[in-house]
Structure 1
């Protein structure tokens, strides 16, 4: 079975689903175990019993399909805004991958319908709230499963509106399916909402951390900062991996810098921390993100169903659905990303103060022009908002299911907060991007380091130098787009 990695997330998922279409043997073998169990006069949780606190209630054979149908309908009680189509698609694909590992016992008909949805981009519309991140993401996954029964909605092709599921099924000449025993439980037990959010953000964060190093180097050049704090020897005697990588990236970006040479003997002793400590701060966030990536990769390649179906015929109830491993790292990732924005905003502020030959507020004629004053306000507001979002969700727990589920992870709340933090970080870095580009313009004709110069020229192809006040919002939007464009950082070969 294909292992999914965050760094190649979307390619790996496509390969996994393609492999399962060619060889569904793990699914078939697992289902055979469930079918065999149904011939025995034994109780199997969620297959011929009730759920949660109702686990002691046996269900008659003639009601087993209705049991699964009722499970989906009763658990589809999500609320709030809809999860974006991109993340909902990821939820669906990660669910297919997990079921394909062959320990859930889902029926082939239900599994094939999920693959059909994925192949034809029929992405269920899922409300973002309602999970406590313990017995799986029950409510969101129930909404994801509703279209199997002809209920709920799908996203339209553009991801801008929703279409009733029954209408879209008719267009595809599909009838709602009858869930088989265990199907409903296999569909809604799992951590795919938390995993999807985590994977979605972390895949982007791997690139964003490189951009942060680039912007730090641009601001360092614009502010005529010293390269001495990036000396390899400093970081070899405090050998945190991320710290060493960041220092190496900045050294690489500043190679052949004329700006550095111009002030090598200026007499300045030390720079502010937001310049001098870029390796330590960015590096700590890198190490945190690396840990989060490792945990999420483990999760998305795991089976988080309950009960679990084993090849030897055993069907065992456990707690793999509990979201605690994800809940902790989703909180951790939010904190790590927020710190990248926090130090970025400080560098933006420094460039507005008019030090070392830069005009105050980065415009030559101020008074009539406010210059770059107000974008920094926005950055400050977003950094402050992130402080609220970074309060850990994982320290909370509220019992559910009449106390049967007496400790829950709240990882789903951490997942939603993580995406909010990430969006804010993108905006803050975007503001540093066009602020640093503006400041570098005032260092001409001196050239910055090769890497910084290359990035600066690329930015100037999309965002012009500002000589007077104008509608900055357009530049922020353009800068956000540039941050996610590999053309900005890939040629620099950063680690």
Structure 2
């Protein structure tokens, strides 16, 4: 049974976000002490309003209109108007898991006392999550500052009893109907609450959370796939000797080398060509695995560090402090998240590009050191896995076009008040597409490498590669049969890609 998630604004983890996003049965609760502190913060805001202090977004307009003072009897209307006017998203809808992740992050940020909202608003978000009411949120329309305004506004609309939610049949239904069915009363936003809700990086950070988790799974799977290719190509593990990597101690490089030695341990294939192999060195796509895959791991860890900080940070504006100060700043700016997403995109493209080069070596008889052309007996009459390499090349080519950083592509908005924005959601969508491509390229390598291992029988590979081979052949898993005659690779590739994405080929238990 999954553990409940307890939100306190300070300790939310990436794994918890992923769990809550993908498993609606997980219970989410709020920390009483954090709620009490939030109530005290809210009292400071209400006192400031009563004192007639001018506070951005509480009794003023927004953005370019910040110099417009709003009458006291219109402060609630100001927040409602903000949400309605900013729900300007377009395009396809965000997946359920992404929207759920956004709501978890939003609740965790709002419960921090710097938000100055009423505890009831955080409880309203939790009510949606625990009832699995998922707002319909269009993908496009956020530039990542001042926060993810449009996506968060579409969620806020549902809290008000407006907007639409995702129906169980895949369509949409009115938000009011979903709230009524769950016996949840619509909530009217009070002063500051609309701005606090929509002013933050939670949409781009939600996607980063899911991607960082999935990229870690993919990295380990890709390392196992690479080890299988090295065995099929009868490469040497000598370049993974820890002394080499101690001489250049990048953390990821050392971890990758250590994991590769573990995966390749106890290999009959290696023993069979240990003494009489005329080759002195393998190609870079085998020999330099620790250096390249290590750099990819370090990039994933960088993105993870950014994500961990962002999960438990105050990203709305203005912020309320315990001495009563209400300060305007720019914590809503998504530049740290956007840059992490761009870096992740580059790293995942690097990984799949190197993977494709090993696929080429596996299917090319001039490079495969004795394997039949395209990994099929009687090549010529049969084409084997010729097209698998071409498919991988197409995926890598697409990913390369997506590596241009979004975070340097600012277009000024809001009458030039918001004159430098990070385009974090564009970075997120590119990273997500590149991750999916990378999962399929790794699936293609697994398909070819396991066939290469098949053709070397009765010799057995290292224990980690044996484990991967068994998982691939498992009737309860991908159930990929050896290739003895031509068949369409597409179904096998898709089954393997799903297994890669689901973590079914992740050797984490061996490492």
Normalising by structure 1, what TM-score? 0.96
Greater mean alpha carbon deviation, residues 372-381 or residues 23-32: 23-32
- Equivalence for 2:79: 68
Superposed CA deviations along residues 196-254 of structure 1, whole A, max 9, x for unmatched, are 11111001111111111101100000000111111111111011110111111111111
- Equivalence for 1:328: 339
1:78·1:127 contact (CA, 8 Å) conserved in 2?
yes
Residue 346 (str. 1) matches residue 357 (str. 2): yes
Residue 210 (str. 1) matches residue 220 (str. 2): yes
Greater mean alpha carbon deviation, residues 357-366 or residues 171-180: 171-180
* Alpha-carbon distance in structure 2 between the residues aligned to 1:132 and 1:76: 14
- Write out aligned runs for 1:122-271 (5 A): 122-157=133-168, 160-265=170-275, 266-271=277-282
SS for the counterpart of 2:380 is coil
Residue 425 (str. 1) matches residue 442 (str. 2): no
1:83·1:128 contact (CA, 8 Å) conserved in 2?
yes
Superposed CA deviations along residues 141-181 of structure 1, whole A, max 9, x for unmatched, are 111111122221111246x3222212212212334321111
- Equivalence for 1:478: 495
- Equivalence for 2:373: 360
- Write out aligned runs for 1:462-473 (5 A): 462-473=479-490
* Alpha-carbon distance in structure 2 between the residues aligned to 1:412 and 1:441: 43
- Equivalence for 1:454: 467
1:88·1:124 contact (CA, 8 Å) conserved in 2?
yes
1:308·1:317 contact (CA, 8 Å) conserved in 2?
yes
Q: State the 1:493 CA deviation.
A: 2.4
How many residues get paired? 493
- Write out aligned runs for 1:83-94 (5 A): 83-94=94-105
2:90·2:141 contact (CA, 8 Å) conserved in 1?
yes
- Equivalence for 2:309: 298
* Alpha-carbon distance in structure 2 between the residues aligned to 1:268 and 1:154: 61
Q: State the 1:182 CA deviation.
A: 0.7
Q: State the 1:490 CA deviation.
A: 4.2
SS for the counterpart of 1:271 is coil
SS for the counterpart of 1:395 is coil
SS for the counterpart of 2:31 is helix
* Alpha-carbon distance in structure 2 between the residues aligned to 1:71 and 1:111: 19
SS for the counterpart of 2:281 is coil
Structure 1 gap segments, 5+ residues each: none
Q: State the 1:8 CA deviation.
A: 4.9
1:382·1:428 contact (CA, 8 Å) conserved in 2?
yes
SS for the counterpart of 1:106 is coil
* Alpha-carbon distance in structure 2 between the residues aligned to 1:19 and 1:59: 33
* Alpha-carbon distance in structure 1 between the residues aligned to 2:505 and 2:33: 38
